[in-house]
Amino acid sequence: MPTKRQLPTARLRRLAREMRRLRSEAGLTREEIAASTAINQATLYRLEYAKGRPQKRTLLTLLKEYGVEEAERDAILALSSQADEQGWLRPYHADLPDELVGYISFESEARSVRNYESLFIPGLLQTEDYARATVSRGVGPGVTAKQVDQRVQARLERQVVFTKDTPLELWAIVDEAALRRVVGGPAVMTEQLRHLLKVAVEPHVMLQVIPFSSGAHPGMPGSFVLMDFSDPEDPELVYIDSMAGDLFLEAEEDVRRYDQIFDHLRALAASPDDSLNLIASAVCENT
């Protein structure tokens, strides 16, 4: 059986960035470190780009080589010990796709999420019946009922981010098409829309709709998520889910581009009050 690859976590990404910084500040190349420590360059690359968590022995060797003092060394060792933690994950979710596990790990640690959806209600705002209808149709042939149940349960458990001491801040923008497409039948869709009317007035949720009357807009090519983290050392992260696969982007130019697209969509969308009116009108059409 193939070894399950290291899943990304915000802490692992932070540790990798710290290791790159320390080596850079020490003025050393990976080739030089490999020559002086016998730690091969492939291992160094994996550690510096969040491909795996270092063994404690390897980490101690590197920190000594970089001249890291005791207080900073202890902080990095503590970060490394927590780097694999997937606090949200339940044992019976072990079969979830790696990309989904990685996404939820980041989402669970995010301070705020900006989510644009062109065809679906955002996952954090879905009801169970709506989620089941989208998962059943959206995961492809050959998926068992048990796997559908696991993915639906995972989607619902994601919503615990709203019940934390400091709830996740969600700014969701949806195209009107997501309101008008009857997913799961009229009763399921009506329940979903009424749920949106309820959660949209929560202080940690901002919901806007881009009406059909707005015409073409920059969000039409597809959905995306922007995540922001409480720790200033954790840069924003972009997540894109497409037919070609899931993609995480953290390069500054990519984040800036999606920041600008989201700002454009926010300005184009109806105001929060007018968006609630659009949702209410969609409820009336389904009843």
What confidence tens digit (pLDDT) does each residue in 115-137 have?
Answer: 999 999 999 999 999 999 998 87
pLDDT attached to residue 58: 93
- Residue 230's pLDDT is 83
- Residue 141's φ and ψ, nearest 5 degrees, are -70, 155
Q: What is the pLDDT of residues 166-188, one digit of tens each?
A: 999 999 999 999 999 999 999 99
Rounded to two decimals, the pTM is 0.77
pLDDT confidence of residue 83? 67
Residue 278 has pLDDT above 60, yes or no: yes
pLDDT grade for 138, boundaries at 50, 70 and 90: low
The answer to whether residue 244 scores a pLDDT higher than 80 is no
Q: How far is CA 177 from CA 65, 113, 164, 182, 238, in A?
A: 56, 21, 31, 10, 23
- The model's pLDDT over 259-272, given as tens digits with 9 standing for 90+, comes to 999 999 999 999 99
Give the least confident one: 73-77, 169-173, 239-243: 239-243
Could you give the CA distance from residue 237 to residue 231 in angstroms, rounded to a whole number? 13
H-state helical runs in 49-181: 56-65, 70-81, 98-109, 128-138, 145-157, 176-180
- Give me the DSSP letters along 138-166: HS-TT--HHHHHHHHHHHHHGGGGGSSSS
CA angle 203, 162, 237 (to 5 degrees): 95
| CATH fold label, 91-286 | Endonuclease; Chain A (3.30.870)
Are the C-beta atoms of 223 and 120 separated by less than 8 Å?
yes
**Structural contact between residues 94 and 152, judged by C-beta atoms closer than 8 angstroms:** no
Q: What is the pLDDT of residue 86?
A: 47
**Residues 45 and 51 sit within 8 Å (Cβ to Cβ):** yes
d(CA 181, CA 282): 10
- Domain span(s) for CATH 3.30.870 in the chain: 91-286
Q: How many helices (H) and strands (E) does the chain have?
A: 12, 6
pLDDT computed for residue 5 by the predictor: 47
| Rounded mean pLDDT, 51-73 | 90
Q: Which has more confidence, 114 or 84?
A: 114
Across 89-103, 108-122, 132-146, 205-219, least confident range? 89-103
The CA distance from 208 to 179, in Å, is 11
pLDDT at 9 over 80: no
User: What is the pLDDT of the chain when averaged over all its residues?
Assistant: 87
Residues of the chain with CATH 1.10.260.40: 10-81
- pLDDT > 90? residue 46: no
C-beta atoms surrounding 278 within 10 Å: 20
Whether residue 139 is predicted with pLDDT greater than 70 in this model: the reply is no
The whole-number pLDDT of residue 124 equals: 97
Q: What is the pLDDT of residue 233?
A: 67
Nearest to 225 by CA among 211, 246, 210, 208: 246
In this structure, of 5-19, 96-110, 254-268, the range with the lowest mean pLDDT score is 5-19
The class level of CATH for 10-81 reads: mainly alpha
Distances, alpha carbon 206 to alpha carbons 22, 126, 154, 172, 197, in Å:
39, 15, 23, 6, 11
Residues 81-100 have pLDDT tens digits of 876 654 444 444 556 776 77
Q: How far is CA 214 from the centre of its chain?
A: 28
Contact 151, 103 (CB under 8 A): no
pLDDT reported for residue 44: 92
SS3 111: strand
